[in-house]
Amino acid sequence: MQERTKPEKVLGPEKVLVIACGMIAREILAVRETLGFGHLDLTCLPAEFHYRPDRIAPSMDAAITKARAEGYRHIFVGYADCGTGGALDRICEKHGVARIDGPHCFAFYQGLSAFEEIAEDDMLSFYMTDFLCRQFDAFFMKPLGLDRHPELIQDFFGNYKKLVYLAQTDDPQLERVAQDAARLLGLAYEKRQTGYGDLTKALATAARGS
């Protein structure tokens, strides 16, 4: 009688942890679902670090150290430089991890090559994304006091000429927020349908554990 052998256990890809900016969490989850990256885990640092880039590098250092202790071998940093002045790159080098290429999310959403072509023309543009449309009151109106003192608009936005909405999705409600913001701030308005830009490619690379 022939001995029956147990089937070999099929192992899936090893878990990869993305430690990202809270401002792009929804977009990372959307890419993960679209591409079927079930082995990609996500944790986020506070979106408010957008205003305090000096906190990004030390917080990332602690987050990576914690993730290593939890057993993650493959970690990807879901940030561009984001105003850290190279400090985030030094943390990435220290831990042997990679981050999203580029200076900030406004660049990688548009694609770095496309951004480089228009960066000079956009020097006086105020960027908004899907996240910033959803959080316009929480991120701009209330913290800057514009809901109580609209006369401050000129102080904060007087040097801008145009509001550029970088749209990750085609959502009329979010576009209305961007259009209303442009009118409120006294800026010309432009919409660019960027989708997720270079974020998809970056996450595909990260999902391979490379």
Q: What is the pLDDT of residues 134-184, one digit of tens each?
A: 999 998 888 888 888 888 888 889 999 999 999 999 999 999 999 999 999
Give the mean pLDDT of the chain: 92
* pLDDT at 12 (0 to 100): 57
Whole-angstrom distance, CA of residue 12 vs CA of residue 92: 26
| Nearest one of 155, 156, 153, 149 to 183, comparing CA atoms | 153
d(CA 116, CA 135): 27
Percent of the chain at pLDDT above 90?
Answer: 82
Per-residue pLDDT, averaged over 55-76, amounts to 97
Spatial contact of 73 and 49, defined as CB atoms under 8 Å apart: no
Residues 6+ apart with CB under 8 A from 205: 98
Distance of alpha carbon 162 from alpha carbon 131, whole angstroms: 19
Does the predicted model carry a pTM greater than 0.75?
Answer: yes
Coil vs helix vs strand at 192: strand
Distance linking the first and last C-alpha atoms of the chain: 47
| C-alpha to C-alpha distance for 144 and 55, rounded to whole angstroms | 20
* Residue at 88: amino acid letter: L
> How confident is the model at residue 7, as a pLDDT?
42
Q: How many CB atoms lie within 10 A of CB 50?
A: 19
Domains of the chain: 16-105+196-207 (3.40.50), 112-193 (no CATH)
How far is residue 89's CA from residue 204's CA, in Å, rounded to a whole number? 20
Alpha carbon dihedral 108, 111, 117, 119, in 10-degree steps, equals -20
Question: For residues 14 and 97, what is the distance between their CA atoms, to the nearest angstrom?
Answer: 16
